[in-house]
Amino acid sequence: MKLTFFGGAGTVTGSKILLEVNYKKILIDCGLFQGLKELRLKNREPLPINLSDLDVVLLTHAHLDHCGYLPVLVKNGYQGKIYCTEATRDLTEIILLDSGKIQKEEAERANRYGYTKHKPAEPLYDVDDAKETLAHFKTFEENVWHAIDEEIRFKFINSGHILGSVFIVLEVKSKIFVFSGDIGRKEPILLHPYSYIQKADYLVIESTYGNRIHENVSIEDELLRTIKHTYTKRGILIIPTFSVERAQEIIYILSVLKRKNLLPNIPIYLDSPMGVNATAVYFKHTKNHMLTTADINSMIATVELISNIDASKAIVNDDNPKIVLAGSGMITGGRVLHYLDKYISDKKNSVLIVGFQAEGTRGRALLEGDREIKFFGKYHKIQAEVFKINAFSGHADQSELLDWLTHFTSPPTLTFINHGEPHQSQALKTKIKTDLGWNCTVAKMNKEYYLS
C-alpha cells in the first residue's frame, strides 16, 4: 500500500492524494492550485498518474482547491467515476461551470489587452470540459458502507465544513484509512457539527489553522460595527465572499441583524451568479443544515440576489452607500474585481475580509498592508479601509482539531498532516506529539509513503 500527495502538502491548495493498493488506484480529491504563481503553474504540469490505471476518485467536498482539477483529469483521458455526496455533486457542478467560464474569460481578456506572456493565453479548461466532467459523478449516502470491490469499501461521514462535506473512511484488507478533507467548526453557524470517528490505522488530517485558536468574539457585533463605520462615512462596504458556505452564513447573520432592526436602511446585494446558485442548492438540501423555513424566508427578504450582468454593472456604477457580497473570496477573480476597480482607491469605502487568504492572493496582500494590488493588467492604489473578521472560518482551529482527534479510541499507526502552510502543519505535528503521543509526520509533495 502506498500514499502519494500530489497537492495540499506544504500548502492549503491543490489537494490530491493517491492511494495505491496492489491492483487499485484511488484518488482522494482533485483540487486546483491557487495563490502563488509557482503553485498555479503546477496546474499546467501533467499529473504523474497513468489515468487509464486510475480506478476511482473520491471527493470530500466541493471547494475549488479540492475539486477544481477534475475537468483537467477528464480532459486528459480519465474515464472512471467520481464518488461524492449529493450536495457535493450539486455544488461542484456550480463551481466547475463557473471556473471554466472565468478561466475562458480571463484568457480572452489577457489576449485582448496583451498582458500575457503566452501567445495566445489558453484556459486550463472551459465550460464544455466542466460539463463533460459532470457525467462521471455518482452520489452516495452518508454513514453507510459502500463497496468499491470485494476487498475495498468506503463510507462518507459528515465533516461540518461546507454543505455536503465529508470525512472519507476507506477499509482496505482490514486496514482503515481516514481522510479528513477539511474539518469544520465544533459549533458551526448553519451546519450540523462534525461527526467523530473512533478508529483509523492511517489518518490524513488537514492543518489550515493548525497553529492558532480562533477568536471568541461575536461575529454579529463585529459585522455590525464594520457596517455602521462604513455607513457613517457614506461609503460602500465590499465583502469578497466565498460563494459556498461563507455567503450563506453572512446572509443569515445579516437577516438576523435586520430582524433586530439594527441595520442601516441601505441595499444589500449578493452579486455572484455562483453564490446565487449555491444558495439555491443550500435551500434545497434542508437535511444538511439547521436553517428553518422562517430563517430561509428571512434570508431571501434581506439580500437581493444578482446574476444578470446588466444588473451587476448598474450596481457597480451606483455610488450610493450599499453592502456588496461578491466573489471571489480571495479576490483571485470574479465580480468583486469590478467593485474594487471603482471603489478601492476611495478612503470612504471599506473592504471586509471574511475568510482564509492563501499566499499570493490579492486578499492576502490586502491583509498584509500592501499599498496597491494588480488586476485587469494594472495596479490599483489601496485607499479604502481594510477590515477582517477572524472568527469567520469554516476550518477547525487547533483546539477543535485536537477535540476531533481525541475521540479516536486508539492512536493510528501513522498520522499524516497536510493542507497547511509549513509553520501551521509543523505546529499541529508538535501539538499532536506532545499532547497525544501519536506517531505523525508532515506530508511532503510528491513523496511516496509505503505502508505496511
Please report, for the domain that includes residue 70, its CATH number. 3.60.15.10
Same domain for 260 and 168 = no
Beta bridge partners of 237: 323, 350
DSSP string, 256-280: HHHHTT-S-S--EEEE-HHHHHHHH
Helix (H, G, I), strand (E, B) or coil at 384: coil
Residue pair 336/327 in contact by the 8 Å Cβ criterion = yes
Same domain for 180 and 310 = no
Q: How far apart are CA 369 and CA 26, in angstroms?
A: 42
Hey, how many other C-beta atoms are within 10 angstroms of the C-beta on 54?
Answer: 20
Quick one: pLDDT at residue 332?
87
Looking at 388, 405, 432, which one is the last position of a domain? 388
Same domain for 238 and 130 = no
Q: How far apart are CA 57 and CA 401, in angstroms?
A: 25
330: which 3 cell numbers?
480571495
Same domain for 292 and 253 = yes
Same domain for 374 and 296 = yes
Beta 16-21 vs 2-7: how paired, if at all? antiparallel
Same domain for 347 and 256 = yes
Looking at this protein, which amino acid is placed at residue 106?
Answer: E
Beta bridge partners of 271: 306, 326
The pLDDT profile of the chain, 452 residues, written as one tens digit per residue, is 999 999 999 999 999 999 999 889 999 999 999 888 899 899 999 999 999 999 999 999 999 999 999 999 999 999 999 999 999 999 999 999 989 988 898 888 888 877 767 778 889 999 999 999 999 999 999 999 999 999 999 999 999 999 999 999 999 988 999 999 999 999 999 999 999 999 999 999 999 999 999 988 899 999 999 999 999 999 999 999 998 999 999 999 999 999 999 999 999 999 999 899 999 999 999 999 999 999 999 999 999 999 999 999 999 999 999 999 998 899 988 899 999 999 999 999 999 999 888 888 999 999 999 999 999 889 999 999 999 998 888 899 999 999 999 999 999 999 999 999 999 999 999 999 999 999 999 999 999 999 98
Q: How far apart are CA 427 and CA 418, in angstroms?
A: 12
Same domain for 254 and 124 = no
Same domain for 398 and 310 = no
Same domain for 190 and 295 = no
Q: How many domains does the chain have?
A: 2
Quick one: pLDDT at residue 211?
95
Strand ordering across the sheet containing 304-306: 304-306, 268-271, 322-326, 236-240, 350-353, 385-388
Element at 404 (helix H, strand E): helix 398-405
Same domain for 443 and 315 = no
Domain with 364, as residue range(s), is 219-388
Quick one: pLDDT at residue 117?
72
Quick one: pLDDT at residue 215?
85
Looking at 335, 368, 388, which one is the last position of a domain? 388
Same domain for 280 and 202 = no
Quick one: pLDDT at residue 342?
96
Element at 381 (helix H, strand E): strand 378-381
Looking at 388, 421, 438, which one is the last position of a domain? 388
Same domain for 228 and 126 = no
Q: Look up the CATH number of the domain holding residue 328.
A: 3.40.50.10890
72: which 3 cell numbers?
483537467
- Tell me the helix, strand and coil percentages in the chain, rounded to 5: 35, 25, 45
